[in-house]
Amino acid sequence: MTTHTWRKTSTRLADGRELIYYDDSEPYASGGATRRLDDPRPLPDRFADVEAGAAALAPIMRRDPLTGEWIPMAAHRMNRTFLPPADANPLAPARPGADYSDGEIPDTDYDVVVFENRFPSLLHVPGVPDEVTLVDGQDLFEQRPAAGRCEVVCFSPDATTSLKDVGEGRMRTIIEAWADRTTALEALPHVEQVFCFENRGEEIGVTLHHPHGQIYGYPYVTPRTQQMVGPARRHREETGRSLLDDIRAAELASGERVVAESEHWVLFVPFAARWPVELHLVPRRRVRSLPELTDAERADLAPFYLRMLAAADRFFARPLPYVAGWHQGPPALGDLLGLHLELLSIRRSPEKLKYLAGSESGMGAWVSDTTSERIAARMREVWA
């Protein structure tokens, strides 16, 4: 197995946000050269006025008394960048020889780069205590800071490409970045769960066309994960086994919904798929999170992941709008929940989208427009 060489270099942007280069190309990977680390933009320190009370930077979250869910409220995101023209793309590298524009990456090129979101929905503000307060003096109305962390992952300096086109070596670097940031964010005292994901396509709600993803460090365990806890715990108590392990084994034994396999990974459509296109990617060995993957599992994942994305784009013979996210077990739950990726799309035909109408939006009661077996059969047709 070929060793994958990469180098991590961290710096701070003008307003104090962290930016990290992940380089796999020379002379940067070996340390022969370093990317530009200074940020000459005239941006004020984002926390400069916190102590004076002049900036209410900390997004808040409120607990829904009906469901117990925390709902972050980040009003400042109303003014975030939305589908800018190509010459104002904040995720593009700086233009050689040009005046420095308001872009986020100081260097004129990069391999993979991660930085704190300029318009985060979750943000830990120094000096703001992570305490529950009551609103309007009502015991039912609980509020606390949304003290997490939101990061952006730029997959390529080329705004015209897509993640599926980056190549195996670059995909491996992205996997390393996901794992590295998971380790870093899980170490933060205010983070309970880390979610690495990509939104692609305007239909999904993407506000920047540049190939990129995000990483959220939540200050709570998400509702979707909470839903998984109950069944996983009951299965463990009744059988002594992992639910995800048994689901993988059952899908392999059936074979009806399995799309593809590699030495270390299995791709299948879940038995009760909700979305018109839905795929689950699971490792053959149970692990809790991305950092626990071995070198062999990471090396195998890189080409397999790219083949999955390429096949997804052939499903309707046009680029597929999708969300692809890594579900990692929160550290506090031990090995109860295992690592797996879920890819989903709202496209139900080449020209039609699935809208979450009354039953889905109002009651959370899903109605599928297809079957899991049909999705799997089509994915097998377009797998190459």
Question: pLDDT tens, 81-109?
Answer: 555 565 778 999 998 876 666 799 999 99
Average pLDDT, the chain: 92
Catalytic residue, candidates 124, 210, 212, 340:
212
Q: How far, in Å, CA of 241 to CA of 143, rounded?
A: 38
Is 30's pLDDT higher than 50?
A: yes
> Residue 356's pLDDT is what?
87
pLDDT 10s digits, 229-240: 999 999 999 999
pTM: 0.95
Within a 13 Å sphere around the CA of 153, how many CA atoms are in the beta-carbon half? 24
Amino acid at 249: A
Is 14's pLDDT higher than 50?
A: yes
Amino acid at 153: V
Amino acid at 237: E
Question: Count of CB atoms within 10 A of residue 300's CB?
Answer: 19
**Mean pLDDT value across residues 352-366:** 91
Question: 1 or 289, which is more confident?
Answer: 289
Domain boundaries, the chain: 7-220, 224-382
Question: 55 or 69, which is more confident?
Answer: 69
Whether CATH 3.40.470.10 fits 7-220: no
168-186 vs 295-314: helix axis angle to the nearest 10?
110
Ranges 16-30, 37-51, 174-188, 344-358: which has the least confidence = 37-51
Nearest alpha carbon to residue 121 among 198, 193, 219, 52:
219
Question: With helix as H, strand as E and coil as C, how does the chain read?
Answer: CCCCCCEEEEEECCCCCEEEEEECCCCCCCCCCCCCCCCCCCCCCCCCCCCCCCCCCCCEEEECCCCCCEEEECHHHHHCCCCCCHHHCCCCECCCCCCCCCCCECCCCCCEEEEECCCCCCECCCCCCCCCEECCCCCCCEEEECCCEEEEEECCCCCCCCHHHCCHHHHHHHHHHHHHHHHHHHCCCCCCEEEEEEEECHHHCCCCCCCEEEEEEECCCCHHHHHHHHHHHHHHHHHCCCHHHHHHHHHHHHCCCEEEECCCEEEECCCCCCCCEEEEEEECCCCCCHHHCCHHHHHHHHHHHHHHHHHHHHCCCCCCCEEEEEECCCHHHCCCCCCEEEEEECEEECCEECCCCHHHHHHCCCCCCCCHHHHHHHHHHHCC
Amino acid at 32: G
Dig out the tokens for 230 from the structure: 């109950």
Q: Quick one: what percent of the chain has pLDDT higher than 70?
A: 93
> Residue 55's pLDDT is what?
44
Question: Where residue 71 falls among pLDDT bands split at 50, 70, 90?
Answer: very high
Dig out the tokens for 350 from the structure: 């080449």
Domain 224-382, what fold? HIT family, subunit A (3.30.428)
212 is catalytic: yes
pLDDT 10s digits, 164-221: 999 999 999 999 999 999 999 999 999 999 999 999 988 887 878 899 999 999 999 9
Is 384's pLDDT higher than 90?
A: no
- Report yes or no: 37 and 20 within 8 Å, Cβ to Cβ: no
